[in-house]
Structure 1
Amino acid sequence: MKIYTKTGDLGTTALFGGTRVPKHHMRIDSYGTVDELNAFLGLIRDQPIDQAYKNTIIKIQENLFTIGAILATDPEKATLKSGKDRLNIEKITAEDIQLLEQEMDTMDAALAPMTHFVLPGGHPTVSFCHIARCVCRRAERLASALNAIEPFEPNALIYLNRLSDYLFVLARKLTYDLKAEELKWIPEKT
């Protein structure tokens, strides 16, 4: 099978189910941003970090493929004539969301309480986390806008929201692990 199909040369692409839409369609932008986020998570996973973080990131990446598939499915063709779901994959579950929360709680327990906003940076690995967090927030905004028009699995949107929080806590924990400096943002008083 060739990678190039030439079917998108005129600016359209197919959703799962066959419906063709413009490549600038909100649905394409949503799952494309989830894909971009997944690539940044791969970059974080490739850093010299604890294997436990890498294992969690792999699970997150797998869940992002699920979310991408949900977003890439035409809601009008999500159910087959037989009544079965077109997407024959596991959905995002409450347990997937709870895993992120548990991981955050575990990392947070080792950190000093937050008293101020922190400036992104301090170490390249930490910066990658902050970039991923920002991409995740964009993915969430796009998915939220899409959900307002064409609702989809509620847990997918919740997962993106929780994931951006996880990436922030991971950035703080890696700052701690890597003995990098966490710079607080303290606005000047006028």
Structure 2
Amino acid sequence: MGFRLSKIYTRTGDKGETGLGDGRRVPKDHPRIEAIGEVDSLNSQLGLLLAGLAEHRLDELSEVLAPCQHRLFDLGGELAMPAYQALNSAEVERLEAAIDRWNEELGPLENFILPSGSALIAQAHVCRSLARSAERRCQQLNSVEPLAGVGLAYINRLSDLLFVAARLIARRQGVAEVLWQAAAKP
């Protein structure tokens, strides 16, 4: 692969439009651009989570989550170039296998938990909530311009994986999950 960007600014977006990989120009608030932006935000936050996992030497989680950054980039490519398909069902199955493996160790969830306990646990929950947001944006786009492939399933499963990852981080750090307590009734 050669150099793709020789110039960072082009001034072509200064009036509120941007180009897609298929040559179309769309407003920067188009559902496709919104979806791309949410996937990019998730990818950036996932990078922060991976940095924290490396600091805490939680290699098992890193090995599962690090490829997700690449797959999110693939998903962004699919969104930017509608005819392009990079993700496949094997990626969804890889996430499901990790969820099943980790859930077996964790056991059933007996109450709602808060995104709290440590900075790393909270960061995993930030990623989970951003995955849900990206999923909503992708679904919004899907209702206007149907999406092909497994992108919606992938982002849905990734949010599930991140929830389970937050629980596993708590276990690995020896931090008790912070259980939700309902407000007292009058």
TM-score (norm 1): 0.88
| Secondary structure in 1 matching 2:36 | helix
Match of 2:164 in 1: 169
Q: Distance in 1 between matches of 2:142 and 2:99?
A: 26
Unaligned runs of 5+ in 2: 1-5
Match of 1:25 in 2: 30
Q: Deviations over 1:78-99 (max 9, x none)?
A: 3xxxxxxxx3xx6221111111
Partner of residue 74 from structure 2, selected from 66, 69, 83: 66
Q: Distance in 1 between matches of 2:184 and 2:108?
A: 23
After the TM superposition, list the runs of 4 or more consecutive aligned residues in structure 1 that deviate by more than 6 angstroms: none
- Tell me which moved more, 26-35 or 152-161: 152-161
| Secondary structure in 2 matching 1:170 | helix
Q: Is the 1:116–1:186 contact (alpha carbons within 8 Å) kept by the matching residues of 2?
A: no
Q: Distance in 1 between matches of 2:13 and 2:135?
A: 26
Q: Distance in 2 between matches of 1:27 and 1:187?
A: 38
Match of 1:50 in 2: 58
- Alpha-carbon offset, residue 189 of structure 1: 5.8
Match of 1:115 in 2: 110
| Secondary structure in 2 matching 1:110 | helix
Q: Is the 2:88–2:149 contact (alpha carbons within 8 Å) kept by the matching residues of 1?
A: no
Q: Deviations over 1:6-43 (max 9, x none)?
A: 11111110011111111111110101100110011101
| Secondary structure in 2 matching 1:117 | coil
| Secondary structure in 1 matching 2:23 | coil
Equivalent residues in 2 for 1:3-18, closer than 5 Å: 3-18=8-23
**Quick one: which amino acid aligns to residue 43 of structure 1?**
L
Match of 1:180 in 2: 175
Q: Is the 2:35–2:134 contact (alpha carbons within 8 Å) kept by the matching residues of 1?
A: yes
Match of 2:119 in 1: 124
Q: Deviations over 1:48-94 (max 9, x none)?
A: 24223222222111111111111112x4xx3xxxxxxxx3xx62211
**Quick one: which amino acid aligns to residue 58 of structure 2?**
D
| Secondary structure in 2 matching 1:180 | coil
Q: Distance in 2 between matches of 1:172 and 1:71?
A: 31
Match of 1:84 in 2: none
- Alpha-carbon offset, residue 188 of structure 1: 4.3
Partner of residue 104 from structure 1, selected from 82, 85, 99: 99
Equivalenced residue count is: 177
Match of 2:134 in 1: 139
| Identity across the alignment (%) | 38
Per the alignment, do residues 178 and 136 of structure 1 end up closer, same or farther by CA in structure 2, a change over 3 Å counting? same
**Quick one: which amino acid aligns to residue 156 of structure 1?**
G
| Secondary structure in 1 matching 2:147 | coil
Unaligned runs of 5+ in 1: 79-86
Q: Deviations over 1:114-170 (max 9, x none)?
A: 111101110101111100111110100010111111111241000011110000000
**Quick one: which amino acid aligns to residue 168 of structure 2?**
K
